[in-house]
Amino acid sequence: MDFFEAQDEARKKTKWLILWFILAVIGVVVAVDLLVIALVDEGNQIYIVITASVLTGGIMLAASGYKTTQLSAGGSVVAEDLGGRLVMPGSADFEEKRLLNIVSEMALASGMPVPQVYLLDHEEGINAFAAGTEPSNAVIGVTRGCLQRLSREELSGVIAHEFSHIINGDMRLNMRLMGLVFGLVVISIIGRGMVQLLRFQGGSSRRNNKEGGNVMLVLFLLGLGLLVIGGLGSFFGRLIQAAVSRQREFLADASSVQFTRNPDGIVGALKKIGGSEIGSKIKAPKAVEASHMFFSNGGMFNFFLMTHPPLDVRIRAVQKNWDGEFESSEIKPIAVDRETKNEDRKGPLDALPGAVVLGAVSGIGQGERRRISTGQQLHQGISQRWREAIHDREEAQAVIFGLLLNKDEKFLSKEVSFLEGEAGGEAKELALKWQAEARGLHSARKIALVEMALPTLRSLSPLEYERFRDITRWLIASDGQVELFEFMIQRVIERHLGSYFERKAFRNICYHQFDRLLPEANILVSTVSEIGAGCADDAEAAYLEATSDWKDRLDRKGVSSHDELDEALDKFSQASPLVKRQILVACVTAAARDGKLSSREAELLRTIADSIGCPLPPFPGEVVEDEI
């Protein structure tokens, strides 16, 4: 199953999830009605039953809506509810630094924004999770036990598993599931509250007023009934969680192996969970709500409510000749392993650029293109001084400003004056320093720097973000024209930081047929054809090859304005996964016609993919040998 099929499957499961939720709500409402009929006199039954139905359904829907709205703020809500602590970029702690490096490598290899990382300090079990509504607000959460008990390759296997949940659409599905299940649980919460409140008041009411005592008794029985009915609702909610989650875990395990090219990593982590007394247990009170998000069962061991397949089944799915023995997961002394030392890991490229691009069309969306080794090459090709810079709030902003400063002295002086007036003299000097250091830098490195700076930029205050956003917009537009790299940075900031700070929910799918987006597709393919062509004939040939299977081909448009590109990308971001695959295949086909991938073509393809919500891993030909 590739990225697009996995996303489409997750979307279909969301429809079934909503249907199951509606059926569960109806079942709870009917049960409450039967309870009311049993407790209320026949004279007023019909009106009370109708009122009870409306109230019960309304409360459940309102609770679900409230929880869903709360979760729309992103994965940080879940992480903090579980007692997680944000791991700051640039942490000096060895274990935290190793974790941050692995997450960065995975993100770079996936073509995704680097997520924030949370550490569950008080959890000794081996577990992890990915939470968020979109990659822009995704977080990776890891327990302290995970850091202390797993080797680097085992930790990489676990993190790759969680990344696959983000890439394959499971994370968003899990967040929706969490919101809907809360609506089923709320009746149980109300019933428990009524029982606890009336248990203490019932005795005094009966002594003082017999009639009042009878009312209190009825209310107490109603609360008790709601507690039981709510318990059934909770049971079915957890059952839905388990049913939705279990099968996706096999896909995530397989994706982890494909990502790391090392089955021993994830298998080793699973064996250590099985060989530990603590296992993967999560002690946080709200762990049950998020049980379907974890790497392994967080404490729900009832067979029907297990959100994950049994450990032995998962292990044998990856390692068929497993001998059935688990491994010890004792905490070992910290030892620096070779991959955390920022050593020179440069080596031969995975393939020649021409061969890579010619094979890219069939590889769109395939997990084969996602390799942690590619992310390691990109990550470790960035020197320590750059890493330290993007981990500092002021310097991270200055790095982006430096990448945007104009090379033409005619415009540079005006931009520098503006920057000094808006951000101060120190920001100006830092931006000029980074502009000089980044001169001649390959676009793959620039893209990696921007993606690695995102966790630090998310730590800005809302006012600081607004200032940063306004300055970048001004620098991009100051010379009256927008270069392709500037367009890419603007899209990254607006999509990933804008979504995070402004709580922008990405739109639902509106386009299920490619033909409905033919004019927008023509804009994108025409632009890609023109960018990589040496002459008009080459551009026309690339366009004709890319659009050969279109039902109704339009005339080639040429390079479009950035406003037209923005509008086309916005519409494709609302397309179904399979429609997105069609446009990406057409764009890559246009770029691949001459067997070469220029820096500008790579920038444009990555921008298109990111803008429509399809992470496109870097082409191995982009992973250059220079260190910055």
pLDDT attached to residue 210: 52
Considering only 240-249, 319-328, 383-392, which range has the smallest mean pLDDT? 240-249
How many other C-beta atoms lie within 10 A of the C-beta of residue 45?
14
The separation between CA 268 and the C-alpha centre of its own chain, rounded to angstroms, equals 25
According to DSSP, the β-strands at 85-86 and 116-120 are antiparallel
- Between 456 and 299, the more confident residue is 456
- Distance, in Å, from the CA atom of 500 to the CA atom of 143, rounded to the nearest integer, reads 24
Q: Quick one: pLDDT band at residue 248, thresholds 50, 70, 90? A: confident
Report the pLDDT averaged over residues 384-390. Answer: 83
Which among 557, 492, 563 has a CA at the least distance from the CA of 526? 557
> Residue 193 CA to chain centroid, in angstroms?
36
Structure tokens at 407: 């090379």
Q: Map residue 166 onto helix, strand or coil.
A: helix
CA distance linking residue 601 with residue 586, whole number of Å: 13
For the cut 60, the answer to whether the pLDDT of residue 164 exceeds it is: yes
List the strands of the sheet with 128-131, edge to edge: 85-86, 116-120, 139-143, 128-131
Three-state secondary structure along 488-531?
HHHHHHHHHHHHHHCCCCCCCCCECCHHHHHHHHHHHHHHHHHH
Question: What is the structure's pLDDT at 338?
Answer: 46
How far is the C-alpha of 88 from the C-alpha of 116, rounded, in Å?
8
pLDDT band at 300 (very low <50, low <70, confident <90, very high): low
Question: What was the pLDDT predicted at 332?
Answer: 61
Mean pLDDT of the chain: 81
CB contact at 8 A, 446 and 438: yes
Per-residue pLDDT for 356 more than 60? no
- What is the average per-residue pLDDT within 162-168? 88
Provide φ and ψ at 113, rounded to 5°. Answer: -65, 140
The encoded tokens of residue 250 equal: 């096999």
Q: What pLDDT is recorded for position 622?
A: 55
Per the model's pLDDT, the better-predicted residue between 478 and 358 turns out to be 478
pLDDT tens column, 440-458: 777 777 888 888 899 999 9
| Phi/psi of residue 134, nearest 5 degrees | -150, 160
pLDDT in tens, 228-245: 887 777 777 777 777 777
Percent above pLDDT 90 for the chain? 22
Q: pLDDT band at residue 474, thresholds of 50, 70 and 90?
A: very high
Share of the chain above pLDDT 70, in %: 84
Of 98, 84, 145, 140, nearest to 277 by C-alpha is: 145
pLDDT in the model for residue 201: 60
The winner for highest mean pLDDT among 134-143, 327-336, 585-594 is 134-143
pLDDT at 78: 93
- Write out the residue limits of the CATH 3.30.2010.10 domain(s) in the chain: 76-171+275-286+293-299
Q: pLDDT at position 198, please?
A: 66
Using pLDDT thresholds of 50, 70 and 90, give the confidence band for residue 95.
Answer: very high
Q: How confident is the model at residue 345 (pLDDT cuts 50, 70, 90)?
A: very low
Cα separation, 90 vs 176, in Å, equals 32
DSSP state of 150: S
Chain centre distance of CA 304: 28
Question: Which among 610, 523, 529 is positioned nearest to 563, based on CA atoms?
Answer: 523
User: What residues does 86 pair with on adjacent strands?
Assistant: 118
Helix, strand, coil % (nearest 5) of the chain? 70, 5, 30
Name the pLDDT band for 352 (thresholds 50, 70, 90).
very low
What confidence score (pLDDT) does residue 208 get?
A: 54
Q: Which of 247, 292, 297, 291 is nearest to 276 (CA)?
A: 297
Confidence of residue 559 (pLDDT cuts 50, 70, 90): confident
pLDDT tens digits, residue range 43-60? 667 888 888 889 888 988
Q: Which long-range contacts (CB under 8 A, 24 or more apart) does 506-513 make?
A: 506/133, 506/134, 506/573, 506/613, 507/573, 507/574, 508/574, 509/11, 509/574, 509/575, 509/576, 510/574, 510/575, 511/571, 511/572, 511/574, 511/575, 511/576, 511/579, 512/575, 512/576, 512/579, 513/579
Which contiguous run of DSSP H or E holds residue 85?
strand 85-86
User: What residues have CB less than 8 Å from 108, skipping those under 6 apart?
Assistant: 114, 374, 375, 378, 379, 448, 451, 452, 618
- Helices 443-457 and 484-492 pack at an angle, to 10 degrees, of 20
Q: Band of the pLDDT at 341, cuts 50, 70, 90?
A: very low
pLDDT number for residue 342 = 40
Instruction: Look at domain 76-171+275-286+293-299 and name its CATH class.
Output: alpha beta
Query: For residue 611, which of 561, 559, 568, 582 has the smallest C-alpha distance?
Result: 568
Query: Lowest mean pLDDT: which of 39-53, 124-138, 190-204?
Result: 190-204
User: For 10-24, 547-561, 568-582, which range has the lowest pLDDT when averaged over its residues?
Assistant: 10-24
Q: Is residue 354 pLDDT above 50, yes or no?
A: no
> Which pLDDT belongs to residue 488?
84
**pLDDT of 620 strictly over 50:** yes
414-440 confidence digits (pLDDT tens): 999 999 999 889 999 999 998 888 877
Q: What confidence tens digit (pLDDT) does each residue in 58-85 have?
A: 988 898 889 888 888 889 999 999 999 9
pLDDT at res. 52? 84
- What is the H or E stretch that residue 142 is in? strand 139-143
Q: Which residue has the tokens 């990696």?
A: 448
Nearest by Cα to 187 from 374, 349, 52, 339: 52
Token pair for 295: 């790497």
The mean per-residue pLDDT over the stretch 102-127 comes to: 91
The bridge status of strand 116-120 relative to strand 139-143 is: parallel
Please count the CA atoms within 13 angstroms of the CA of 511 that sit on its side-chain side: 24
Confidence band for 626, pLDDT divided at 50, 70 and 90: very low
Cα 212 versus chain centre, distance: 54
Residue-level pLDDT at 340:
41
Positions marked active-site: 162
